[in-house]
Amino acid sequence: MAEETKIEDSILNDFKSLKHIKDNSMDNIFKIYIRQAKQEVELYIGQDTLPNILSGVITQMAEAKFTKAGSEGTTSSSEEGLSYSFSENDLKPFFPVLNRYIDNLRGSGDRGRIVTFD
């Protein structure tokens, strides 16, 4: 549990750095987005705890959830020449990374594989 808290704190610090946020007034809200993203990824990859290697995915997902806050259900929005497009599935942009991780767990990925012709 201590390792999990450490990862979540690291994700929170990364998230706040990306958003240039210096104070702690919204930390509880950010932690909710982080927890939601973490649970979605853990469910998708079939693990009870988040591997540290996927913390960047959680940071990006939490950032997307924060940006989308108040616009849930909206797929796109445009105002004065500025337009936003939201994915209906928060995981969709990360499927390639998550699937690659799952493939590597199953041994069907290329990472770490050595082939010799002795």
Say what the pLDDT of residue 35 is.
93
Query: Residue 90: what pLDDT?
Result: 82
User: For residue 69, what pLDDT is reported?
Assistant: 75
Residue 101: burial class (beta carbons within 10 Å; 0-12, 13-18, 19+): buried
Weakly modelled stretches of the chain, pLDDT under 50: none
Segment 66-83, tens digit of pLDDT = 887 765 555 666 777 776
**Secondary structure, 3-state, 44-106:** HHCCCCCCHHHHHHHHHHHHHHHHHCCCCCCCEEEECCEEEECCCCCCHHHHHHHHHHHHHHH
pLDDT at 65: 85
pLDDT for position 102: 94
Q: What is residue 17's predicted lDDT score, i.e. its pLDDT?
A: 92
Task: Give me the pLDDT at residue 109, please.
Answer: 59
Taking the model in full, what pTM does it have?
A: 0.73
CB distance 11 to 37 below 8 Å = no
**In b/e form, how buried is each residue of 35-74, taking b as 16+ CB within 10 angstroms?**
eebbebbbeebeeeebeeebbebbbbbbbbbbebeeeeee
Query: Which pLDDT score, from 0 to 100, does residue 87 have?
Result: 60
Q: Domain ranges for the chain, please list them.
A: 2-106
